Structure 1
Amino acid sequence: MGNPTPPENGIIPAQINHSHKRAYSYATTISHLFATINDTKQPADRVIGQYFRDHKKHGSKDRRIIRETLFGLFRWWGWLAQLSAADIIGKDQPLTPQWFRQLSGCALLEQHGWQDIIDAWHELGELPQWPALDGVEIQQKSQQLQQHFPELNFSLDLLLPSWFWQVTTPRADQQLALIAAMSSRPPIWARAQGLPVSAIVTELQALDIDAKPSPYFSDALSLGHKSINFNQVSLYQNGKIEIQDLASQVIGQICAPSPNDTWWDACSGAGGKSLQLRALMQAQGHGRGHIVASDIRQHALDELLKRAKRAGYTQITLARWRSEALPVEAQAFDGVLVDAPCSCTGTWRRNPDMRWLDATDVVEQKPALQLDILSRSSHAVKPGGVLVYATCSLANAENEQVVNAFLAAHPEFSPETIIHPFTGESTTMLTVWPYEADSDGMFVCRMRRQ
């Protein structure tokens, strides 16, 4: 195991005894990363990825402690921020007892296992005792912390920013379930490509991976909540499994392409849904089906091609957006998928930092762009063809309001009824909530051109 990065000046305070030095070094590294993310507003994944590339001597345990503590801090920051008079310790400021309280509180809430480090953080935080929170539900955690720190506020709604409740409308009786889901570690979902799920589960379980088939889709499987190095998994390297959240898989299932269809993935990104559409076609037989994928970012399309090659898919071609002009032929596609850029509030389990880095404007600035992309892309749908609009947002302004504005301006399209795959409910505008099947949040609407 490598050593954690020492303080920026290379000096550990003299009053820190030997048994606490490793814990202090971890705390310094995490503090530096936490402040960098808040100062630069860059995604935590990007910041920590660059940090590990610059500090290659870290062992796997170091990486795990640093990464999981950092993400845990953001996950519980609505509560943990109250343990310090200052919201965030600056990169060059000395560590305080309050920071160690936040670290030990995070470890307790996340139920982390590095007990020696946690004990040292607790002692450095100068707290007599934390309440025992192991294994209790989030509502009980709130109550126990409130009793232990009566001067603070540990209400559940603080775990999400106040503006979130202004832009989304979860059912009142499901608000607790939403908070609990958003405050839990995200699962890893995958999709089988070219092999039966049962065979994949057997092989992954032999590698000590917690693989299980999904009860919802025949090609979906759960890989548990523990981190996995997929570079060491041959099924992944050979394109037989693709990592894709279950809520994201809902979109392809609602597209429901036929084996001879031609589909346009108008906002493909790195191609997760393009690959899913092709896999769904192929599972029905070897037809003449074809996927055209478009994005404004060439690097994303390059990644798509790499993933398609790994899966052995040759029926996916590219048409990059280079201007506002349609990059494909008008009225040429049986189906068009518009997975529009959005605020990504549905992925906050996976990216807990974004709930504190963003503000209401991240929602307010998107609908005009979303409506514009949807309207332009709709021209590629054949008469009788399908148009699917999707986001990974939970905000009404990016979802129902965009669809309603589009339908008002395009009477040639009408919404179709969707059966919710997790609840069985019928609707024309489907929101997948994170608590329904342990997934991200998504929105989707399927429309048909008359």
Structure 2
Amino acid sequence: MVQSSTSPVNAFHAETSAQKRALSYSNTIHQLFNSVFQQKMPADRIVGEYFRANKKHGSKDRRVIRESLFALFRWWGWLKKVHVSTEQDESWFAVLAVVAELEGHSWSQFSEAWQGFANQSATFKINASTQPMPTVSDKCQFVQQCFAAIVFQEQDLLPQWFWDVTNIDTKHELALIEAMSSRPPIWGRAQKRSAQQLSTELQSDNIDANTCEFFSDSVNLGHKSINLNAIKAYLQGHLEIQDLGSQVIGQICAPKADEQWWDTCSGAGGKTLQLRSLMFNQDDNGSGTIIASDIRKKPLTELMKRAQRAGFNKISTSAWQGDTLPVSAEHFDGVLVDAPCSCTGTWRRNPDMRWLDDVSVVTDKQALQLDILIRSAKAVKLGGQLVYATCSLSPVENEQVVNAFLAQQPQFILQQLSHPFTGQTTDMLTVWPQDADTDGMFVVKMSRKS
């Protein structure tokens, strides 16, 4: 629950209605921002609970509050050098004003009010940007001009521990920062119809939908928020929301219509549904089946609801219970291990997590990931495929786990993969967010030779 602020916001005098609203927004954003750090809870959950408890906010209010809050986390690597207290003081208004400029927010009447409150201190002189800022480097220069006494670098936008556990060529760092500092589009998949048919239908519902050059069933839904329960195609199961990077994993699996697959860590079943859809596209009467497993039963229940909505049969569930394999050994043509991980590849969608987490979120899962992979491999039949995937960008959770597995399980060998966005050939595929405006992903495909 969001706690009431005890900061001296009343010390700032509001003369106009815009200034009064700016103070009110500031107070709410401040409470939410502090609650995220105090409760160590994801910002979207904190915001959702707040709006459910405070029905007074209209759609415009919610937009100002929500977008300002997430923008604060997006640029916090710089702004935490400015706002070093937990109070609503001039520095707080300074970061709100700067965030509005960095994001190009349309509520200039409020950002101007925040600028005025910030400039009550002789320390600050915040003005609106007079030049376009299309790149992170442009934005860094603007922030440097606003706070000349502080040194800012593009690399500050991701925590230092991330750089310590991520193996990326220096020449690609800026592109990664650029991607991580931008809002990703909403990606979806077409089910039981073509992506072009789905896009046309969605466009008739005033949704900015377009087909994708990389996968024949992918749809880009733009950046605007969508009420899925008001979309006919979604309610009929013809649209599933799934990031393009996540879709890479199913495409690498490439299940055939008559194969038996096991999704070992399915969650609510996004990739299970993708696998079944890829099977269905080849032969809607195919004999292939999918079993989905998870340690939690609630997501498996949700998975079956989604499968029913899509009209997909031949999907079943089997929950993990202790150490016992929940399926038959040496039975499957393909096994997908989408392992629990740090989720650093999804930080652009959850910018708060880069500041809530520390390096342990990467380093403390390797043993679990390897254990799940070894257990799951027992279900692969001779000649079958084993796919390991994470949404992490760290070799600690990716290459190191795979290499440790291969050292213990010599009956499996890596397959060569073609990067779907760059065309490069590799046996350990990392999809970086900048590759195709996606989340970051890692995937390998192994075959059992003996």
TM-score (norm 2): 0.95
For 1:236 and 1:134, locate their aligned partners in 2 and report how far apart those are by CA, in whole Å. Answer: 38
The question of whether the paired residues in 2 share the 8 Å contact of 1:69 and 1:106 is answered with yes
1:115-126 correspondence runs (5 A)? 115-126=108-119
1:13 counterpart residue number? 10
**Is 243-252 or 309-318 further displaced after alignment?**
309-318
2:31 counterpart residue number? 32
The question of whether the paired residues in 2 share the 8 Å contact of 1:52 and 1:58 is answered with yes
The question of whether the paired residues in 1 share the 8 Å contact of 2:155 and 2:177 is answered with yes
For 2:288 and 2:234, locate their aligned partners in 1 and report how far apart those are by CA, in whole Å. Answer: 24
C-alpha displacement of 1:310: 1.0
The question of whether the paired residues in 2 share the 8 Å contact of 1:275 and 1:308 is answered with yes
For 2:261 and 2:202, locate their aligned partners in 1 and report how far apart those are by CA, in whole Å. Answer: 32
The question of whether the paired residues in 1 share the 8 Å contact of 2:292 and 2:316 is answered with yes
For 1:44 and 1:338, locate their aligned partners in 2 and report how far apart those are by CA, in whole Å. Answer: 28
For 1:125 and 1:280, locate their aligned partners in 2 and report how far apart those are by CA, in whole Å. Answer: 55
2:65 counterpart residue number? 66
C-alpha displacement of 1:56: 2.4
The question of whether the paired residues in 2 share the 8 Å contact of 1:371 and 1:405 is answered with yes
**Is 412-421 or 54-63 further displaced after alignment?**
54-63
C-alpha displacement of 1:342: 0.2
Check if 1:45 corresponds to 2:38: no
| Paired positions, count | 440
Amino acid paired to 2:231: V
For 1:147 and 1:13, locate their aligned partners in 2 and report how far apart those are by CA, in whole Å. Answer: 29
1:99 counterpart residue number? 92
C-alpha displacement of 1:300: 1.1
Question: Structure 2 vs 1, CA of residues 328 and 139 (structure 1 numbering), >3 Å: closer, same or farther?
Answer: same
1:383 counterpart residue number? 382
Query: SS state of the match for residue 396, structure 2?
Result: helix
Question: Structure 2 vs 1, CA of residues 223 and 446 (structure 1 numbering), >3 Å: closer, same or farther?
Answer: same
For 1:197 and 1:219, locate their aligned partners in 2 and report how far apart those are by CA, in whole Å. Answer: 5
For 2:127 and 2:112, locate their aligned partners in 1 and report how far apart those are by CA, in whole Å. Answer: 11
Check if 1:241 corresponds to 2:239: yes
Check if 1:198 corresponds to 2:196: yes
The question of whether the paired residues in 2 share the 8 Å contact of 1:7 and 1:28 is answered with no
C-alpha displacement of 1:247: 0.4
Query: SS state of the match for residue 188, structure 2?
Result: strand
For 1:63 and 1:409, locate their aligned partners in 2 and report how far apart those are by CA, in whole Å. Answer: 52
Query: SS state of the match for residue 106, structure 2?
Result: coil
For 1:165 and 1:346, locate their aligned partners in 2 and report how far apart those are by CA, in whole Å. Answer: 13
C-alpha displacement of 1:145: 2.6
The question of whether the paired residues in 2 share the 8 Å contact of 1:190 and 1:244 is answered with yes
2:404 counterpart residue number? 405
For 2:302 and 2:105, locate their aligned partners in 1 and report how far apart those are by CA, in whole Å. Answer: 34
Question: Structure 2 vs 1, CA of residues 70 and 42 (structure 1 numbering), >3 Å: closer, same or farther?
Answer: same
1:252 counterpart residue number? 250
For 2:53 and 2:423, locate their aligned partners in 1 and report how far apart those are by CA, in whole Å. Answer: 48
Question: What per-residue deviation string (whole Å, max 9, x for no partner) do you get for residues 122-177 of structure 1?
Answer: 21221352433544211122123324432112200000000011101112211110
2:122 counterpart residue number? none
Query: SS state of the match for residue 178, structure 1?
Result: helix
TM-score (norm 1): 0.95
Check if 1:277 corresponds to 2:275: yes
Query: SS state of the match for residue 80, structure 2?
Result: helix
The question of whether the paired residues in 2 share the 8 Å contact of 1:212 and 1:223 is answered with yes
For 1:135 and 1:240, locate their aligned partners in 2 and report how far apart those are by CA, in whole Å. Answer: 39
The question of whether the paired residues in 2 share the 8 Å contact of 1:258 and 1:289 is answered with yes
The question of whether the paired residues in 2 share the 8 Å contact of 1:183 and 1:349 is answered with yes
**Is 62-71 or 366-375 further displaced after alignment?**
62-71
The question of whether the paired residues in 1 share the 8 Å contact of 2:416 and 2:426 is answered with yes
Amino acid paired to 2:69: L
Question: What per-residue deviation string (whole Å, max 9, x for no partner) do you get for residues 7-47 of structure 1?
Answer: 65899727222421111111111111110110111111111
For 2:53 and 2:63, locate their aligned partners in 1 and report how far apart those are by CA, in whole Å. Answer: 16
Check if 1:108 corresponds to 2:107: no
For 1:143 and 1:70, locate their aligned partners in 2 and report how far apart those are by CA, in whole Å. Answer: 22
- Structure 1 portions without partners, runs of 5+: none
**Is 207-216 or 376-385 further displaced after alignment?**
207-216
C-alpha displacement of 1:65: 1.2
Amino acid paired to 1:102: V
The question of whether the paired residues in 1 share the 8 Å contact of 2:268 and 2:303 is answered with yes
Match of 2:155 among 150, 154, 157: 157
1:338 counterpart residue number? 337
Amino acid paired to 2:236: N
Amino acid paired to 1:53: R
Identical columns (%): 55
2:223 counterpart residue number? 225
Structure 1: 4+ residue segments shifted above 3 A: 5-12, 130-135
Query: SS state of the match for residue 52, structure 1?
Result: helix
1:441 counterpart residue number? 440
Amino acid paired to 1:108: E
Question: Structure 2 vs 1, CA of residues 172 and 338 (structure 1 numbering), >3 Å: closer, same or farther?
Answer: same
- Structure 2 portions without partners, runs of 5+: 120-124
For 1:398 and 1:195, locate their aligned partners in 2 and report how far apart those are by CA, in whole Å. Answer: 36
C-alpha displacement of 1:120: 1.5
Query: SS state of the match for residue 174, structure 2?
Result: helix
Query: SS state of the match for residue 442, structure 2?
Result: strand
Question: What per-residue deviation string (whole Å, max 9, x for no partner) do you get for residues 294-317 of structure 1?
Answer: 011111111111111111112110
C-alpha displacement of 1:63: 1.4
1:351 counterpart residue number? 350
